[in-house]
Amino acid sequence: MTRDADSLTNALRKDGFLVDALGNATGRDMSRAIDRLKARVHLNSVVLVYFGGHGIQSDGQNYLIPVDAKIWSEEDVRRQGLSIDRLLSELKTCGARVRLVVLEASRRNPYERRFRTYSHGLAPMQTSENALILSSAAPGQIVEDPSELRSQLMTALLTQMESPKGIEDVFNNARDAVVAATQGQQIPVVSSTLTERVNLWAPRAGVPSASVGSAAGSRRK
């Protein structure tokens, strides 16, 4: 399913942002997309990465899993998955001033019976300076695939993006909207180490004030 990724991509492009979108990404696709993103990053860049798909935690870190991964052990996760911590670190090294991440990857681990440890959902996020992460569920919790056109999180996020406000307010308000819509059954988590107020849509008229690169992955079918 690529509907959430497509919706976010269309919303960002409508506002004039530079977006690199992928669907059903293989490991090679993901590596190339990250390389393209890092090549575009310059000093003071604001970078947004979205991923919708399977995320698996291993040894306290979270990995995004490509559609062609062959997972038989936790070692395979670390070798074939994309480490979120490593990605954030690499973007910072490239000069990104602010790093934003939206994760819809809190799913049942389809390989759990092959692992020695429990690993549903994602591990707690440890963010470095000037990073902001919105995850669809609390650590260790899972979210089932939506039957609606879009997920609860994406619906709330797109609604919040319609009016100019700080990105941290956008993420926090989207979290609160999901909690209300699901009557507390789904509680997204916002992890922030922002040291400044970031408003991607100010001013609304004219050219956006920040350039955003988005690597949008899709869920497995």
| pLDDT over threshold 60, residue 181 | yes
What pLDDT is stored for residue 130 in this prediction?
92
pTM, to two decimals: 0.86
CA triplet 126, 196, 50: central angle to 5 degrees? 50
72-77 long-range contacts, CB within 8 A, separation 24+: 72/111, 72/114, 73/114, 73/115, 74/115, 74/116, 74/117, 74/119, 77/111
Q: How confident is the model at residue 221 (pLDDT cuts 50, 70, 90)?
A: very low
